[in-house]
Amino acid sequence: MNSYKDYKIFISKRALKEIKSLPINIRQNHLKKIFQLRTDEIEALDIRKLQSVEDAYRIVAGDYRIVFKVFKDKIVIKIITDLHRKDVYKLIANLTTGLDLTKDLDLDVEKSKLLKN
């Protein structure tokens, strides 16, 4: 998989809330993996395409799954959810995967808030 160097990363309010609820050490690890999408280290991530949602993928992060969708026409990645593996696949089919820049948040802006305890 190629890196998404030029892509902006947005996050749904749902995923932001899920990440905020994680312990700080797990939160830091997940953010590192998310931002790794824009580096040459993307090959080290365990990324798989989801069959049920077009242009959607998941990253394995321990017992969690970070689900994201790629909008190639807008050069945007949207983080949809970040849940424990036992819960994430039940929800994927029901998640809104569209991109709404009036509701979705720029993760570059939110990152510093997420790294605080």
Q: What is the DSSP annotation of 9-53?
A: EEE-HHHHHHHHTS-HHHHHHHHHHHHHTTSGGGGGS-EEE-SSS
Does the residue 116 lie in any domain? no
Does the residue 17 lie in any domain? yes
> Sorting pLDDT into bands at 50, 70 and 90, what band is 104?
confident
Does the residue 84 lie in any domain? yes
Show the domain range for 63.
8-111
Does the residue 57 lie in any domain? yes
Residue 40 has pLDDT above 70, yes or no: yes
Q: What would the mean pLDDT of 42-46 be, rounded to a whole number?
A: 90
Does the residue 95 lie in any domain? yes
- Provide the pLDDT for residue 55: 85
What is the rounded CA–CA span in Å between residue 37 and residue 57? 12
**DSSP code, position 95:** S
Which CATH number characterizes residue 72's domain?
Answer: 3.30.2310.20
What is the rounded CA–CA span in Å between residue 42 and residue 16? 22
Give how many domains the chain has, as a whole number: 1
**How many residues are listed for the chain in this entry?**
117
Does the residue 2 lie in any domain? no
3-state secondary structure of 86: helix
Does the residue 1 lie in any domain? no
